[in-house]
Amino acid sequence: MIKKNNVRKNNKILEFKHNLNVVNNVPTFKLKAFLIIVFLLLIALVIRIAFLQFVDGEMLKQKAFAQLSYTETISANRGSIYDSTGTVLATSYDADNVIIVPEKIKEEEKQLTASMLSTIFELDINEVLTQLNSEESKITLVKNASKDKIDTLEAWVEESNLEYGAIYTEETVARYYPYSTLASNVIGFCGTDSQGLSGIEYSWDSVLTGTAGKSISSKDASQSQIPNTEETYIPAENGYDLTLTIDVNIQSIVEKYLKQAVEENECTKGGTTIVMDPSTGDILSMASYPDYDLNSPFTPNIYISEDWDNLSTSEKSNRLQRMWNNKCITDTYEPGSVFKTITAAVALEENIVQVDTPNTFYCSGVEVVADRNIKCWRARPHAAQSLRDAYNNSCNPAFMQLGRMVGTTTLYKYYEAFGFFSKTGVSLSGEASGIFFNIDDVGPVQLATMSFGQRFTITPLQMISSVSALVNDGILMQPRIVKSITNTDTGETTSISTTAVRQVVSKDTSETIKSMMQSEVEVGTGKRGLVAGYTVGGKTGTSEPSQSNTDDGYVASFIGIGPVENTKIVVLTCLYDPQGKSHQGGEIAAPVVSKIFSEVLPYLGVSSNADKSNVQNSTSDANLY
């Protein structure tokens, strides 16, 4: 129903119509739904805030801190390596790498830039231009640049119009080896990250490296320090210094004569020499030739560089690995007649023979073993001999007879005692161990050949360790090459003690063996190992390759002891695959040891003694083998 309303205006009554029934256009249920949704969103927001606060709060706090914090690594200085006299063999120094950013160098600037860089750093200008035109974001142009060259570079960059950051330097630590090639296969080298890759540098890397430190501070987006914020500083623990048993003077003498012998006798597979103190097991020298330059270890030496540019990456890698190997410990060889010293010692210790009993053995020039004829090295038979005679003559038939007298079981018992079945434990990586027949597979032929040092292999270090035991009152010492470790932060030095492994033979056997070694040099096959003014002993060795490995060639070797009375050093030299005038150890290896003795014994303060009156009579011949 419409109600009428009268309104008086200008004394007139106006009449209009108005509907008083107002209609609500928003449905009630929609409004309620909207309010419920808003309420739920508010609850969800509260829950989310609570979750961020109480559940993810710590994690978000750490992320925020990480965005603001700046961590700087503090490099630890790598320890140095010294010889036994305190001479530095390896050390580190601060250096700089030169970095270029090709995209920041304009086209018209490249020629001048390449010219300057090639002049300063003695580089090929075309190679520098190639790098400047590279699409790489940045290139390390020069590593471990010297300070004077960096100063010259920085002066030129400052005067040039190059864009900021086009050329810059990065601080680094470089490794330096003052003696370059000396003891290279022993010391080893580091990579560009100062991590040891071979030799002592690798096997003692954890000791030499130390532990890096760090500095943690808060910085803003512009990398400026945020005031009043906490800063954490953890100092670096520098690497420890190592002092080796190697004597740089003895090492130099050894390497001089080893190199001479390898080159003169055309030894296609090189040579090795070890000098050991038998009373301590200390390695006074350990040399392999060919060697390489420790300051440029990836540059092939002349012995592996043939057709280098035509080799595949894997072939280059294999050759470099052979160049780096320390053959004294990584490669095994057939010791030949030097090993007769071991067979003789076992027989003496077991009281199977006496050293000077006449007619103990008979050599007809050939020994029949299991229907096989195994000849003596000399066509003319040695006939009747004592053990000393057989040793001096290096007679194979006599030692095959001795091997049968001793027997496989007893021989293997002593082989284990001498350490031929296991690694010596010297603290160098890559050490190999002897390779022998399984004892159950040793027949008459295997026993015969083992008795004079063939058809099994050992390392040169195992060979010299065993003979050192024989002249050290029968006590086997563990080889030692690291003498002490020094904490460079505190100066505290920790000595690495010598280790007696076991008593292998008696002192009486030891004295008899030394007497035999002396007579072998003075009247036997080792005459070229004599040293004027000193009583020395030794044993020659010449091992022929097996029929299945004829490419291996002969190994000529000689082990010497000096002086005989109170032995100070034992020296073993091995020459691999000689192609020169001779392949006999008595002719080409014995002189090497003699020359080493002639310089090293006086250096060690051993008095000269020209008296050789206690040389025993022998029926040995003057031939060398």
Query: Each residue of 215-274: pLDDT tens digit?
Result: 665 555 544 555 555 667 677 789 999 999 999 999 999 999 999 999 999 999 999 999
Least confident range from 66-80, 197-211, 473-487: namely 66-80
**Residues 238, 340 within the same domain:** no
> Are 229 and 347 in the same domain?
no
CB-based contacts of 473: which residues, under 8 Å, 6+ apart?
507, 510
Q: 53 phi and psi, to 5 degrees?
A: -75, -50
Query: In this structure, is the dihedral angle defined by the CA atoms of residues 614, 618, 621 and 623, taken in order, positive or negative?
Result: negative
Q: What's the mean pLDDT in 372-389? A: 94
Region 35-40: what's the mean pLDDT?
82
**Residue 464 confidence (pLDDT) above 50:** yes
Determine, yes or no, domain membership for 51. Answer: no
pLDDT value of residue 418? 98
The token pair at 122 is 């003695």
Residue 362 scores a pLDDT above 70: yes
Looking at 244, 279, 312, the residue that finishes a domain is: 244
Identify the CATH number of the domain in which residue 172 sits: 3.90.1310.10
Model pLDDT, residue 3: 43
pLDDT value at residue 272:
98
| 142: nearest Cα among 173, 98, 176, 101 | 98
Residue 415: is its pLDDT beyond 80?
A: yes
Is a pLDDT exceeding 80 seen at residue 14?
A: no
Which of 70-74, 161-165, 260-264 is the least confident region?
Answer: 70-74
Residue 352 and residue 227 in one domain: no
Q: How confident is the model at residue 617 (pLDDT cuts 50, 70, 90)?
A: very low
pLDDT at 308 over 60: yes
Q: What is the pLDDT of residues 200-217, one digit of tens each?
A: 999 999 999 988 776 665
pLDDT of residue 9: 44
What is the model's pLDDT at position 531? 97
User: What is the predicted pLDDT for the residue at 226?
Assistant: 58
**Shared-domain flag, residues 236 and 356:** no
360 in the same domain as 224: no
533 and 401 in one domain?
yes
Q: What is the mean pLDDT of residues 426-446?
A: 96
Range in 50-59, 157-166, 480-489 the model is least confident about: 50-59
pLDDT value at 295 more than 50: yes
Considering the domain architecture, whether residues 423 and 544 belong to the same structural domain is answered as yes
- DSSP secondary structure of 564-618: STT--EEEEEEEESB-SS---HHHHTHHHHHHHHHHHHHHTTPPP----TTPPP-
Q: Given a cut of 60, is residue 622 above it in pLDDT?
A: no
Pick the closest to residue 488 from 77, 85, 190 (CA basis): 77
Lowest pLDDT segment from 8-22, 162-176, 371-385: 8-22
User: Residue 352 and residue 401: Cα distance in Å, rounded?
Assistant: 12
What confidence score (pLDDT) does residue 461 get?
Answer: 98
Give the lowest-confidence range in 43-52, 66-75, 281-290.
Answer: 66-75
Average pLDDT of every residue of the chain? 89
CA distances from 333 to 148, 436, 538, 541, 542 (A): 49, 11, 19, 12, 11
Q: Do 351 and 213 sit in the same domain of this protein?
A: no
497 located within any domain? yes
User: Is 301 domain-assigned?
Assistant: no
183 domain residue, yes or no: yes
Predicted pLDDT of residue 624: 43
**Residue corresponding to tokens 């000077």:** 356
Mean pLDDT for the stretch of residues 343-359: 98
Shared-domain flag, residues 95 and 237: yes
pLDDT at 237: 84
Instruction: Report long-range pairs for 109-118 (Cβ below 8 Å, ≥24 apart).
Output: 109/160, 109/161, 109/162, 113/160, 113/162, 113/167, 116/156, 117/141, 117/153, 117/167
Q: From CA 599, how far away is CA 302, in angstroms rounded?
A: 29
The position carrying tokens 């009583």 is: 535
- Would you state the pLDDT for residue 548? 73
Is the pLDDT at 325 greater than 60? The verdict is: yes
Residue 70 pLDDT exceeds 90 = no
> Across residues 451-466, what is the average pLDDT?
97
pLDDT tens digit sequence for 504-515? 999 999 999 999
Picking from 12-21, 136-145, 372-381, which range would have the lowest pLDDT averaged per residue? 12-21
Quote the number of domains for the chain.
Answer: 2
Q: Is there a single domain that holds both residue 342 and residue 237?
A: no
Nearest to 575 by CA among 396, 339, 333: 333
Q: What is the percent of the chain with per-residue pLDDT over 70, rounded to a whole number?
A: 87
Residues with catalytic function: 337
pLDDT band at 129 (very low <50, low <70, confident <90, very high): very high
Asked whether residue 469 is domain-assigned, the answer is: yes
Q: Which of 228, 244, 260 is the last residue of a domain?
A: 244
Asked if residue 284 belongs to a domain, the reply is no
Q: In the prediction, which pLDDT does 290 show?
A: 97
pLDDT band, residue 67 (cuts 50/70/90): low
- The confidence band for 34, taking pLDDT boundaries of 50, 70 and 90, is confident
Write the CATH number for 520. 3.40.710.10
Q: How far apart are CA 202 and CA 190, in angstroms?
A: 8
Look at residue 474 in the predicted model and tell me its pLDDT: 98
Domain that holds residue 91: 73-244
Query: Among residues 417, 385, 377, which one has the least CA distance to residue 401?
Result: 385
pLDDT of residue 222: 47
**pLDDT value, residue 8:** 46
- The Cα-based distances of 38 to 29, 41, 60, 151, 409 in angstroms read 14, 5, 28, 70, 94
pLDDT confidence bin for 1, thresholds 50/70/90 = very low
Label residue 402 exposed, middle or buried (CB < 10 Å: 0-12, 13-18, 19+).
Answer: buried
Whether residues 342 and 198 fall in one domain: no
Residue 616 lies in a domain: no
223, 244, 265 - which closes a domain: 244
Q: How far apart are CA 355 and CA 513, in angstroms?
A: 9
Q: Is residue 124 part of a domain?
A: yes
Task: Compute the average pLDDT of residues 568-581.
Answer: 97
Residues 585 and 473 reside in one and the same domain:
yes
Cα separation, 584 vs 315, whole angstroms: 33
> pLDDT at position 613, please?
39
